[in-house]
Amino acid sequence: MILVTGANGKTGRAMVSALAKAGADVRAFIRDPNQADGLQALGAAETAVGDLGDVASLQRAMAGASQVLHIGPPMDPNEVIYADNVINAATAASVEQFVYYSVMHPQRRVIRHHRLKLEAEEHVIESGLPYTIVEPIRYMQHLVPIWRRVVDEGVHAMPFDIDRKFNVVDLADLAAATTQVLLDPAHLYATYELAGPEALSQRDMAKIISEVIGQPVRAEAVSLAALKKKGRAAGLSADRIEQMAIMNGHYDSHGFLGSSVTLRGLLGRAPTTFATYVRRLQAEQSA
Ligand SMILES: NC(=O)c1ccc[n+]([C@@H]2O[C@H](COP(=O)([O-])OP(=O)(O)OC[C@H]3O[C@@H](n4cnc5c(N)ncnc54)[C@H](OP(=O)(O)O)[C@@H]3O)[C@@H](O)[C@H]2O)c1
């Protein structure tokens, strides 16, 4: 039985689905019992209700689990506390593998959640548990929330200089690769940077999208002030808005580049290109 935390999130749902399709027994750790049906529809064999801050709920959820995939909530100030709680519950349950879902370049300590993930990685390594760490780069799926504007107005707007490059990766590839990590003990004690196959700027992405949808699309850099205003309008916490601004400012200055060699090895095929991802998204959105 594989316990998956953060199961109802964007990443968690992709992981539960990929693991279930590969035949694994998954127990989805969720906060709200109303989320159970959705997770079971994705293939979870069981659900466990609790909170990453509630140690007893984690201990209950861990009963009979042989592996854990821990996916913490994004940009959360409690990243290390939550990771420690899951590590401790996993240690008490003597699980055979602890997979920690981190981020690529946790060494970029200026970004708080990268720094906290670096600290959590240290705790995972020192826990004595057999572990694997996956370090994904920025997802291609950041296109989803802006897709309507891209299609309706022909504007691909992100908070970066339009020529800054990113090796964006398909979340479906990350789910397939992380499934491999959980199915084969050869991956114990590895730390894997997982990046997409192309270094693309917003300008490059706009051009690819334009070719796929057959309409002109231009790239536009959103200012951090505009990003903060949008965050406030969406009701995000002041802390979350500040962390988003720090992260995006850092990516804007330094880009986010990585190699796809490890991902290719785990998948046993070429990782998904941005054009292929956009074609899939277009089909999903028009279905
Ligand atoms: N997006 C990227 O490009 C990217 C790249 C690399 C790494 N990552 C990492 O991927 C991870 C997942 O991100 P995501 O975008 O999938 O997140 P997400 O969609 O916001 O999902 C987070 C999940 O965590 C749950 N959660 C939040 N607080 C909790 C708590 N106290 N106890 C139990 N569950 C709690 C949420 O529950 P509810 O459903 O009840 O709200 C939600 O299901 C993050 O650690 C992020 O840093 C993301």
pLDDT digits (tens, 9 = 90+) for 55-99: 999 999 999 999 999 999 999 999 999 999 999 999 999 999 999
Distances (CA, A) of 93 to 40, 110, 117, 145: 24, 35, 23, 39
Provide DSSP, 172-191: HHHHHHHHHHHH-GGGTT-E
Give the C-alpha separation, 66 to 245, whole Å: 39
Q: Which pLDDT score is estimated for 263?
A: 98
SS3 of the chain: helix, strand, coil, percent, to 5: 50, 15, 35
d(CA 253, CA 239): 21
Residue whose token pair is 């981020």: 103
What digits encode the pLDDT tens for the residues 142-164?
Answer: 999 999 999 999 999 999 999 99
pLDDT of residue 24: 98
Gyration radius of the chain over CA positions: 19
Below-50 pLDDT ranges, the chain: none
Residues lining ligand 1, judged by CB closer than 6 Å? 6, 8-12, 31-32, 51-53, 71-74, 101, 103, 113, 136, 138-139
| pLDDT score at 157 | 96
DSSP annotation of 217? -
Q: Are 65 and 93 in contact (CB under 8 A)?
A: yes
The DSSP bridge partners found for residue 218 are 155
> Half-sphere exposure (CA, 13 Å, Cβ side) for 25?
6
**Residue 287: per-residue pLDDT:** 81
The span from the CA of 218 to the CA of 73, in Å, is 32
* Alpha carbon 13 to its chain's center: 10
| Model pLDDT for residues 92-114, shown as the tens digit of each residue | 999 999 999 999 999 999 999 99
- CA-CA distance, 45 to 24, in Å (whole number)? 9
d(CA 243, CA 241): 5
Ligand 1 atom nearest 136 alpha carbon? 6
Query: CA quadruple 122, 101, 143, 204: dihedral positive or negative?
Result: positive
Mutate to test the pocket of ligand 1, among 15, 17, 31 (most ligand atoms within 8 A of CB): 31
Within the chain, where are the H helices? Answer: 10-21, 36-41, 55-62, 79-92, 112-126, 147-153, 171-183, 202-213, 224-233, 238-254, 261-267, 274-286
Our mutation pick for probing the ligand 1 site, out of 11, 34, 62, 108, counting the most ligand atoms within 8 A of Cβ, is: 11
